[in-house]
Structure 1
Amino acid sequence: MKVWIDITNAPHVRFFKNIIEYLQGEGEDVIITIRKFGDIHKLMRLFGFDFISIGKHGVSLAEKLKESTKRAYKLSKLIIEEKPDVGVSKHSIELPRVTFGLKIPSVYILDNEHAIAANKLTLPLCEKIIMPEVIDLWDVIKTGADPNSIIRYRGTSEILHFQNFKYNDKIFHDLKLELKKEKTILMRPEPALASYLDADCHKSVLTPIVEMLKDHANILVIPRFKEQAELFKGYENVTILKPPVDTFSLMKKCDLMIGAGGTMNREAALLGTPVISCYPGKPLAVDKFYIENGLMHRSTETDEIVKLALKLLLDDKKPPKIETDDLFKIIIENIYNAANKG
Structure 2
Amino acid sequence: MKIWIDITNAPHVRFFKDIIQYFKDQGEDLIITGRKFGDIHKLMNLYGHDFISVGKHGVSLIDKLKRSTERVNELADLVSSEKIDVALSKHSIELPRVSFGLGIPSLYVLDNEHAEAANKLTLPLCDRIISPRILDVWKLLSYGLDPNKLIRYNGTSETIHFKSFKYNENIFEDMGLNLPLSKTILMRPEPSLASYLDAECTQSVLTPIVDVLKAYANILVLPRFKQQAKIFEGIENVTLLEPPVDTSSIIKKSDLVIGAGGTMNRESAILQTPVISCYPGATLSVDQFYIDKNLMFRSNNVNEVVNTALSMLISNNLPKPLKFDDLFQLIVDNVYDMKK
Match of 1:317 in 2: 317
Q: Residues 60-99 of structure 1: CA distance to partner in whole angstroms, max 9, x if unpaired?
A: 0000000000000000011101121010000000000000
Q: Secondary structure at the match of 1:33?
A: strand
* Aligned partner letter, 1:16: F
Q: Secondary structure at the match of 2:54?
A: strand
Q: Residues 264-318 of structure 1: CA distance to partner in whole angstroms, max 9, x if unpaired?
A: 0000111110000000000100000000001100000001100000000000112
Q: Secondary structure at the match of 1:31?
A: strand
Q: Does 1:259 align with 2:246?
A: no
CA root-mean-square deviation: 0.6
Q: How does 1:50-129 map to 2 (within 5 A)?
A: 50-129=50-129
Q: Residues 176-229 of structure 1: CA distance to partner in whole angstroms, max 9, x if unpaired?
A: 011110000000000000000000011000010000100000000000000110
Distance 1:322 1:176 in 2: 33
The two structures have a TM-score, normalised by structure 1, of: 0.99
Match of 1:242 in 2: 242
Match of 1:304 in 2: 304
Q: Following TM superposition, by how much is the alpha carbon of 1:338 offset from its aligned partner in structure 2, in angstroms?
A: 1.2
* Aligned partner letter, 1:312: M
Distance 2:135 2:322 in 1: 17
Match of 1:44 in 2: 44
Q: Secondary structure at the match of 1:82?
A: coil
Distance 2:108 2:54 in 1: 19
Is the 1:220–1:240 contact (alpha carbons within 8 Å) kept by the matching residues of 2? yes
Distance 2:78 2:218 in 1: 48
Distance 2:234 2:283 in 1: 31
Q: Does 1:284 align with 2:307?
A: no
Q: Following TM superposition, by how much is the alpha carbon of 1:234 offset from its aligned partner in structure 2, in angstroms?
A: 1.3
Is the 1:295–1:319 contact (alpha carbons within 8 Å) kept by the matching residues of 2? no
Percentage identity across aligned positions? 64
Distance 1:275 1:41 in 2: 28
Is the 1:15–1:158 contact (alpha carbons within 8 Å) kept by the matching residues of 2? yes
Match of 1:12 in 2: 12
Q: Secondary structure at the match of 1:129?
A: strand
Q: Residues 97-150 of structure 1: CA distance to partner in whole angstroms, max 9, x if unpaired?
A: 000001110000000000000000000000000000000111111100100000
Is the 1:33–1:54 contact (alpha carbons within 8 Å) kept by the matching residues of 2? yes
Match of 2:28 in 1: 28
Is the 1:294–1:320 contact (alpha carbons within 8 Å) kept by the matching residues of 2? no
Match of 1:153 in 2: 153
Q: Where do 4+ consecutive residues of structure 1 move more than 3 Å?
A: none
Distance 2:70 2:34 in 1: 14
